[in-house]
Structures are given as structure tokens and as C-alpha cells.
Structure 1
Amino acid sequence: MKLVYDINLFIHAAAGLLSLVVLAIPLVAKKGGQLHRRAGWVFTIAMAVVALTGLGLALAWALVPLQVKPLDADASAERIAAATRSLRAFGLFFATIGLMSGAAVWHGISAIRINKAQTARATFVIIDHLAWALLGLFGLALLLLGLRVSMPLFSLFGALALFNAVSDARFLLRPPNRKSAWLIRHLQAMLGGATVAITAFAVLVLRRYLDPSGGFQLAFWLVPVAFGTFGTIAWTRIWQRRLGYGRPSATT
């Protein structure tokens, strides 16, 4: 089990690094151009691998926590019980993060598909709604867990997952009238995936070198999310102005 876990972790880290390397290319390349599409697909596939392997890691933490994170042989029963509870709680946390990244890139691609297709295939429609529903359920569970165990990190990311789920549901259930709404949705979803990638890099790499004592570990989770959120808002407004969102929707 430990070997399978370690291989999964390696693939997870490698895919995350790849997504980070190509992250900026779709943002600066000509929208709809060959470079934009190719780099975008590399980022999408890498983030899909990150999401799937992340869910696998979270599942291991939930089902066999002490096999993948073993304690000392002389650990007391109380310590074993506490470690098991903690690892399972973080299993839910990382599962929610995995769903956030997976749902983000799925809805980013889904926005393009919805724009191009006159009628959506039933399988894709089911996955569209399953993605936001699962994200909402996991987000709610994480939010409630964070409130119960007084973990602001859990509560914040649970609330963020809920917010993302509601945004995805609103776009699917009540699509905006503007023809360019799909482009804004694609942009927002992909930037959401980018925020997850940057946050993972900050937590797994930067924190190890900049904060080895762990005194500021919460900041390595929150600062990238804050920058990603404000960056998404700013980038969205730039594109809304380019697309004439200040004018009547019939012209867009």
C-alpha cells in the first residue's frame, strides 16, 4: 500500500509541476490560437491528473491513514486515535481540494463545449451537474468540520468550494443571455484551476524552503488563494470591458 501511495504521490507532484510550467502560456497567448489551445490542453490534462491522484491520496488518508503515515511503534493508543482522526480530517480537506481543481478545469472545457454544441451529449450534461453537486457536498462537509474542530483553514476552503459549486450551478441552470458568457466562464474556471496549482506549489515547495519551522504555514495556503481570487476578478473585468459588457447584451 505504501508503495502504491508513493507512486501516486510522485505522479501527483509531477503533474502539478507540469501544470505550473505551462500555466502562463494560455493566459498570454492569442486566445483561440494554436499555442493557446495546445498549452491549454496540456494544462487541462495535467490538472485532471492532479485532481485524480489527489483524490487517490485523500482516499488513502481516509481509509488507511496509519499505513501511509505510520507512527512510531511505541505510540500510545491515545496518540494513534488522535493521529487517525487528524489524518482522516485532512483526507476530507485534500479530497475537497482535488474536487475543486477537477471541477474547475472540467467546467472550463465545458464552457467551450456548450458554446460550440447545439445539443449537449447526455453524458457530459450529467458530469457537468455531478461536478458541482459533489463539490458542494464536500465543501459543506468541510465547512461544518472546520467549525466543529475550530480549523479556520477547513472552514475557509469549505466555504470557497461551496461558492464555486453555486457559481457552476448558476451558470448551468440559468445561463447568461450574452453570447460571450461562455468565454468569461471559461476564463474564470481555468483561473480557478491555476489558483489551485499555484497554491499547491506554495504549500509543497515554497513553504519547505521559506518556512521550515511551520510557523506561517497557514499563510502559504491563504495568500495564493487571495492573489488568485483578486487576479481572477481583475482579469475577468478586463475581458468584460473588451467584450463590451458595459453595453446592451444584444451587441455582445
Structure 2
Amino acid sequence: MKTLIISLLIMHIATGFTALLAGLIPMFSKKGSILHNRAGLIYVYCMITVAASALLLCALQPFKMMRLFLTGIAIFSFYLSMTGWRATKQKKSGPTPFDKGLTFITFLVSLLMISFGGYLLATNGASFFPILFSFFGLLTLIFAGRDIRLMAKPAEKMHWFFQHFTRMGGSYIATFTAALVTNMSRILPTNAPEWMATLSWIAPSIIGAMIISRTVRYYKVKFNGAKASLTV
């Protein structure tokens, strides 16, 4: 069992590190190029492995709150990367039964994270883990809930494009955050206040969301400008 856990841990760390490197390439390479597509696919495969190994490590090792939370983040990041990748396959067909099942499972996971955060908040007060479980559970709920709503009505023509880069970007932010906080004890002094550790979890999501929102606005203006030029 010990050998299995060590092997899973090595796999988890190696694929997580590979994902952080591979995920940078699509951001700066030409959209739709072979390099962009292949690096993105490597990133998705890495995130599948990261999520699967995180679940196994959580199940096989003694319970720890941080381990449980990191597993939730791995699932969240996996969902974002998978829906971002699958968006390019749904330009005409829409979500498949697999996509719908994945969305509903993730929606249930988000409710469990929020409920657990509320339970910890009621028993321990507004400390580190109650805030984080509630915050990331709410983020997961927003994404999965939005996907459920879109199943009931047709999406805009370029929905797949925005879905692709916003989800892949969100997945990268979550993966980067997990890697950052895992090593935060080596960065912060031992007497650092708890709010600094909490901020290190939440700040990348807020900053990343601002960058993604700005990118969305840029492309919407670009697409609207292209439409206007065609009608002139």
C-alpha cells in the first residue's frame, strides 16, 4: 500500500507540474494551430490524471482536511478543463449524455462542498477551511449551474469559443492556486497570520477572473466589429 501511495503521489505531482507548463503554451500560441491543440490536449490529459490520483490519494490515506479540500479543487479544475475542451466538440451537436452526466455530478459535488463549508462555519466559526470550502463550492456551483441552464436553451453562436478559453483559463488558475498554496508554508514565515494563507487561495481566482473577463470583452468587441463590417 505504501508503494502504491508513493507512486500515486509522484504521478500526481509530475502531471500537475506538466499541466502548469503545458497550459502556458495555448495561452500564447496561435489559436487553432497544431501547437495550440496538442499542448491543450496534453493539459487536459494531465488534469484527468491529477483528478484521478487526487481521489485515490484521498481515499487511501488517513483523513486530513487539507487533503479533502485539495481533492475538491482537483475535481473543480478537472471539470473546467474537461468542459473547456468539450466545448470545441459541441459547436453543432451540443452537450452529449456524457457532458450532461459530468455536469450534474459536479453540481452535486458543489452542493456538498458548500454544505460542508457551512457545517464547518457553524462548528468552528469563520476560519480557514470553512471560508475556502464555501468559496470554491460556490464557484463550482456557478459553473455547473450555468451549464445546466444552457442545456435547456440554445446558446449563442460563438458560445463554444468563449466556453473554451474561459474554462481552460479557470482550470489553469485553480491548478496554479493549488500548487501555490501547497508550497506556501515554504514562502510565508511561521508566524504569518491565517488571513494571509486564506488570501493566497482566493487572490489568484479574483485576479484571474478579472483577466478572463477582460479577454471576453475584447473578443466580443472584435466579433461585433467584424459583424458590423460585413453588414456595411
**TM over 0.5, yes or no?**
yes
Native 8 Å contact 1:135 1:165 kept in 2: no
Does residue 139 of structure 1 match 2:113? yes
Secondary structure of 2:176's partner? helix
Secondary structure of 1:113's partner? coil
Would you say how many aligned residue pairs link Structure 1 and Structure 2? 221
Pick closer, same or farther for the CA change 1:244–1:213 going to 2, 3 Å.
same
Native 8 Å contact 1:12 1:49 kept in 2: yes
Q: In structure 2, what is the equivalent of residue 224 of structure 1? A: 204
Question: 2:146 is matched with which residue: 164, 167, 171?
Answer: 167
Letter in 2 for 1:209: R
Pick closer, same or farther for the CA change 1:224–1:47 going to 2, 3 Å.
same
Using the TM superposition, give the Cα deviation of residue 236 of structure 1 relative to its aligned residue in structure 2, in angstroms.
Answer: 1.8
Q: In structure 1, what is the equivalent of residue 137 of structure 2? A: 158
Pick closer, same or farther for the CA change 1:245–1:157 going to 2, 3 Å.
farther
Show the 5 A alignment for 1:1-252: 1-61=1-61, 64-65=62-63, 87=64, 89-116=65-92, 118=93, 121-122=96-97, 124-148=98-122, 149-150=124-125, 151-176=130-155, 178-205=156-183, 207-213=184-190, 215=192, 216-244=196-224
Using the TM superposition, give the Cα deviation of residue 224 of structure 1 relative to its aligned residue in structure 2, in angstroms.
Answer: 1.5
Q: Structure 1: how far apart are the matches of 2:154 and 2:119?
A: 32
Percent of residue pairs identical: 26
Deviations 1:208-248 (A, max 9, x none): 43215262322221221222222221222222222228979
Native 8 Å contact 2:110 2:140 kept in 1: yes
Native 8 Å contact 2:70 2:178 kept in 1: no
Native 8 Å contact 1:142 1:157 kept in 2: no
Deviations 1:153-206 (A, max 9, x none): 222222222222212222333342x2111110111111111111110221123x
Native 8 Å contact 2:44 2:81 kept in 1: yes
Native 8 Å contact 2:90 2:160 kept in 1: yes
> TM-score scaled by structure 1?
0.77
Deviations 1:33-75 (A, max 9, x none): 11110111011111111111122223235xx33xxxxxxxxxx
Letter in 1 for 2:161: L
| Runs of 5+ consecutive residues of structure 2 not aligned to the other structure | none
Pick closer, same or farther for the CA change 1:10–1:246 going to 2, 3 Å.
same
